Structure 1
Amino acid sequence: MSIRELLVLGTGSQVPSRARNHNGYLLRWDAEGFLFDPGEGTQRQLAFAGSSVSAITRICITHFHGDHCLGLPGIVQRLSLDQVARVHAHFPASGTEFFERLRHASLFHETTELLQEPVHGDGILATGAFGRLEARRLEHRVEAFGYRLVEPDGHNMVPALLERHGVSGPDVGTLSRQGSVRVGERTVTLSEVSAVRRGQKAAFVMDTRLCDAVFALAEDADLLVIESTFLERDADLAREYGHLTAKQAARVAVECGVRRLVLTHFSQRYQDPTLFRDEAAEVFGGDVVAARDLMRIAVPKHTRPE
């Protein structure tokens, strides 16, 4: 059974607290595990959450401020300790020196093949059974990238249409693989007996001012994980330090047709995360989640066609 869910490992920003660890987000996507921004304490948070580093297949770092990367040394060393064979790592190319320092922060016996794949600009970073992983350059005080996971559209067979066109048995599989099948004197095409199944999309947007890239990453996302470091009353601070407010995050969700909005990366100046949810809900009428550490959030499924 496939699993598509977000495991929230940390929701704090520059300063962690008793309730909020530094950043850390594990997106389980079928057989893949995308670890975004492993802040300090990520390895321990995985243990608290009942998960492990063996679930990680790709590490994606948005930028090299400490709250987004200081947990990397522990994760890298644990990968070898747990005998994980291979993991891909994506990060801003300008921070390659920092990645190397974090990767080799202390002595350990390295056995995991960690494939460094620096991000140089906007575009597709990887493709596979999971779909495609894309990146867009954000606007922060240092170089930063957001990530977007896109599953291609597929199709679902409609039993009533299959029956109407006389397609049954092994011919159904042939039609699905080849796009058409011969039935008697005519050819039946896939479009005649199926309905489009829209692929799922998930976007991850951390430290940034509001910019075109934020909207491009969020477009039609089923799950948008987005920083909302400040409330709107502190919008001037958000702009000065290169961050978003909860209201701005909600505006993105509205304009981009987001299905589930996950707010995170809360400044330590605020004690009540429900304030972020309430502010966003005034703008976005959809599903809003103010993330909490160790929360599990499902990627919304699409309704199957009749």
Structure 2
Amino acid sequence: MTRELAVLGTASQVPTRHRNHNGYLLRFDDEVILFDPGEGTQRQMLLAGLAVTPITRICVTHFHGDHSLGLPGTLQRISLDKVPHPVAVHYPAAGQEFYDRLRHATSYWDNADIVAAPVSGASFTAETSVGRLTALPLWHSLPTYGYRLDEPDGRRMVPELLAAHGIAGPAVSELQRAGRLGDVTLEQVSVARPGQSFAFVMDTGLCDNVFALAEGVDVLVIESTFLDEDATMAEMVGHLTAAQAASVARVSGVRKLVLTHFSQRYQDASRYLDEARPEFAGEIILAEDLMRIPFPPRNASG
């Protein structure tokens, strides 16, 4: 099974020659989630060698154009390709008017099962094929939500322990299903396998829910629109600096930090890393368009 993030766009409000508007495709085993499809998402998916057919759900953080103007084209392509499974679309319920406009922005044959699944309130959860999807409100100039995907903890079978108890073939599946086979329990032949997690935080000032979404995740994708020299502006408009994003990762115990949503005002992207590194000693990735980012290996216990 594959667990990776395909980066489709890394710009903020204004795209550049090298950075498209936002777009991030998360493949987490059988769950394939498109986050914040900005303008040009279809084209970026083509360049990345990705099809819309595997997409199981779309998550929109908020209805600013750089995070949602690619939604009409993506939904129309899903319909054109007659994707056979339902595709849920999560978005802030307060932006229903914008969703309705984007859902049918032009005329086309609607041949797909697109399921509107708005998020609202202090916390929203949905069950997916791989675990729980959570949405929490953030602090921005209009209703905005961040998302987190959590795989439940499980058990990893140990071949040597299975062999020592004479368990093989179909009996292994029976033991996994029932938790016990005769006098042998699942705990005797397996070790704990911590579930993996992913968080997606865009367009927000610092608030408690930024930390709640990021807490202990394996991969954190987080906006870092500004540098420290413009920290006052960042706070005023509800955005983060690279140093703030890295500080969130440090405090929250993140394993892999992905910085993105870069302002066009800075010509040298390495400055983001220069400001983030003193705050976070772990792995930092400056996202680039069409980059593929794998999940880190599971923790040693799993």
CA distance in 1, matches of 2:45, 2:78: 13
Alignment partner, residue 249 of structure 1: 245
In structure 1, C-alpha distance between the alignment counterparts of 2:201 and 2:177, rounded to whole Å = 36
Paired amino acid for 1:283: E
The 3-state SS of whatever aligns with 1:302 is: coil
Query: 2:279 is matched with which residue: 277, 283, 293?
Result: 283
Bigger mean CA offset, 88-97 vs 250-259: 250-259
Task: Normalising by structure 1, report the TM-score.
Answer: 0.94
- Please give the alpha-carbon distance, in whole angstroms, between the structure 2 residues aligned to 1:164 and 1:179: 17
Match of 1:76 in 2: 75
Q: Is the 8 A contact 1:158 1:305 kept in 2?
A: no
Give the C-alpha shift of residue 194 in structure 1: 1.2
Structure 2 residue ranges without an equivalent (≥5)? none
Shift of 1:118: 0.6
- Residues 150-186 of structure 1, C-alpha deviation per residue, up to 9 Å, x if partnerless? 100111122333344454444332221111111xxxx
Q: CA deviation at 1:304?
A: 5.9
Of residues 219-228 and 126-135 in structure 1, the stretch that sits farther from structure 2 once superposed is: 126-135
What's the CA shift for 1:14?
0.5
Contact 1:124 1:132 in 2 (8 A): no
SS in structure 1 at match of 2:258:
strand
Paired position in structure 2 for 1:274: 270
Q: Residues 4-63 of structure 1: CA distance to partner in whole angstroms, max 9, x if unpaired?
A: 111101000011110111111110111221010010111111111111211211010000
Matches within 5 A, 1:47-66: 47-66=46-65
Dislocated runs of 4+, deviation >6 Å: none
**Match in the other structure for 1:226:** 222
Aligned letter for 1:233? E
C-alpha contact 1:24 1:39 (8 A) present in aligned 2: yes
Q: Pairwise mapping of residues 91-106 of structure 1 onto structure 2 (< 5 A)?
A: 91-106=91-106
CA contact (8 A) 2:197 2:217 kept: yes
Deviation (angstroms), 1:128: 3.1
Distance in 1 (alpha carbons) for counterparts of 2:300 and 2:276: 29
Give the match for residue 235 of structure 1: 231
For residue 291 of structure 1, what is the amino acid of its counterpart?
Answer: A
TM-superposed deviation, 1:123 = 3.3
More strand by share: 1
Shift of 1:274: 1.6
Between stretches 155-164 and 79-88, larger displacement belongs to 155-164
Cα 1:304/1:255, change in 2 over 3 Å? closer
**d(CA) in 2 for partners of 1:302, 1:259:** 10
Q: C-alpha distance in 2, partners of 1:33/1:177?
A: 26
Classify 1:149/1:254 alpha carbon distance in 2 versus 1 (closer, same or farther; 3 Å): same
Aligned-residue Cα RMSD (Å) equals 1.5
1:203–1:221 CA contact under 8 A, matched in 2: yes
Question: C-alpha separation between the residues in 2 aligned to 1:62 and 1:168?
Answer: 47
Same amino acid, percent of matched pairs? 58
Distance 1:248 1:278 in 2: 13
In structure 2, what is the equivalent of residue 203 of structure 1? 199
Long gaps (5+) in structure 1: none
| Structure 1 position 192 matched with structure 2 position 188 | yes
1:39, 1:67 within 8 Å by CA — same for their partners in 2? Answer: yes
Name the residue aligned to 1:179: 179
For residues 223 and 17 of structure 1, the distance between their equivalents in structure 2, rounded to whole angstroms, comes to 26
TM-score calculated relative to the size of structure 2? 0.96
Report if the CA contact (8 A) 1:125-1:132 is conserved: yes
Counterpart contact for 2:37–2:68, Cα < 8 Å: yes
For 2:255, the equivalent position in structure 1 comes to 259
SS at match of 2:88: strand
- Do 2:194 and 2:299's aligned partners in 1 also have CA atoms closer than 8 Å? no
Give the distance between the partners of 2:294 and 2:258, measured in 1 at CA: 11
* Cα deviations by residue, 1:195-248 (Å, 9 ceiling, x for unpaired): 111111000000001111011101111110000001122111110010011111
**Judging changes above 3 Å, is the alpha-carbon distance between structure 1 residues 81 and 168 closer, same or farther for their aligned structure 2 residues?**
closer
Distance 1:152 1:305 in 2: 15
The Cα of 1:122 is off from its aligned counterpart by 3.7
